[in-house]
Amino acid sequence: MEIIQWVIIILGIVFIATRFMPVKGITHITGQDAKKKQKNKNVQFIDVRTPGEYRSNHHKPFKNIPLAELSKRINELDKEKDVIVICQSGMRSMKAAKVLKKNGFQHVFNVQGGMGAWR
């Protein structure tokens, strides 16, 4: 019985650790670093906030693909191009970056601090 408890504890620790560990291949960048890439034709800018959030405050290069729709709309993106992902605070964009990595995107950038960092 004690062995089963240890196995459950270890599996719980592994599960929690994998949820919070950074995903390999996702680069965190500042808003300023993202701005420097605006004119690059090989970069896709994705805003994963809700349509309402996007309408109230968005910036020119970003296309709105809400996080909840990303998996269904992933074919709208080019896997050969870099992807810069932004949200309000950086949390949803991190989730979106993980989705992109798991779907074969090689160069994924998450804007740390989200829209607040863009200013």
Which residues are annotated as catalytic?
Answer: 87
Classify 26 as helix, strand or coil.
strand
Reported in sequence order, the residue ranges of 1-119 that DSSP labels E, i.e. its strands, are 26-29, 43-47, 62-64, 82-86, 108-111
| CA distance linking residue 22 with residue 67, whole number of Å | 18
* Residue pair 81/6 in contact by the 8 Å Cβ criterion: no
In DSSP terms, 84 is beta-bridged to 45, 109
For residue 104, give every residue at least 6 positions away whose Cβ sits within 8 Å of its Cβ, in sequence order, or none: 79
